[in-house]
Amino acid sequence: MHSDRNEDEMRMKVREMIGEIGTAIFTTVDAEGRLRGRPMRTQKPDADGRTLWFFTRADSPKVAELEQDSRVQLGYSEPKSQDYVSLFGRGRVVREVARKRDLWTDGLRTWLPEGPESDEVALIAVEIEGAEYWDGVSSSLRYAYGYAQSLLTGEPDRGGENAKVDFRG
């Protein structure tokens, strides 16, 4: 598995896959150096496509963790289509009411009933530094073909696409 896309095309591919999957395991580093992950819904990215947004409670442990260590790992997974994305970057807490209003959807009231104007609601901006994606073999027919080919040749199936993507450049 590899990609014949250029860097801009691969960045677009990452953003497309994230948009389709929607929910990430958002991983931070706690005060003892342990990795802590939790599911979080991605909001729409910035126009530059290098910043992802997440709503959170302002007093959540991840806010304190980001203030001590800004490193973030995001994992997106859609097993049915065999699509996976792993991102790393830096997170920062944003409390601007205008930004919260801009990204707010009413469905968020389920977890944040106070609404975007509340000081109890914050955003996390994740500046993407890099990513890797796997756009897998999703059809049963393609899977069967790859399986048969592997049996005959003894080589793994090369279907699908995999690439490491630099978002810093």
Measured CA to CA, the distance from residue 86 to residue 40 in angstroms comes to 14
The token pair at 115 is: 């609404």
Number of domains into which the chain is organized: 1
In this prediction, residue 71 carries a pLDDT of 98
* pTM (predicted TM-score): 0.83
Contacts of 140 (CB under 8 A, 6+ apart): none
Residue 75: inside a domain, yes or no?
yes
State the residue range of the domain holding 141.
Answer: 7-166
Residue 2: inside a domain, yes or no?
no
Measured CA to CA, the distance from residue 11 to residue 59 in angstroms comes to 33
Contact 165, 11 (CB under 8 A): yes
Measured CA to CA, the distance from residue 95 to residue 120 in angstroms comes to 9
Which tens digit of pLDDT belongs to each residue from 125-156? 999 999 999 987 654 544 555 555 556 656 65
Q: What number of other Cβ atoms are within 10 A of residue 57's Cβ?
A: 15
Residue 1: inside a domain, yes or no?
no
In this prediction, residue 141 carries a pLDDT of 46
**Exposure of 105 by Cβ count < 10 A (0-12 exposed, 13-18 middle, 19+ buried)?**
exposed
Torsion sign across C-alpha atoms 36, 39, 44, 49: positive
User: Is the per-residue pLDDT at 23 higher than 60?
Assistant: yes
- What is the average pLDDT across 92-111? 96
User: Is the per-residue pLDDT at 168 higher than 90?
Assistant: no
| Domain containing residue 29: CATH number | 2.30.110.10
In this prediction, residue 108 carries a pLDDT of 95
At residue 104, what is the residue type? W
Residue 112: inside a domain, yes or no?
yes
As a whole number, the mean pLDDT across the chain is 87
Please, which pLDDT band fits residue 165 given cuts at 50, 70 and 90?
A: confident
Which tens digit of pLDDT belongs to each residue from 41-100? 999 888 788 999 999 999 999 999 999 999 999 999 999 888 999 999 999 999 999 999
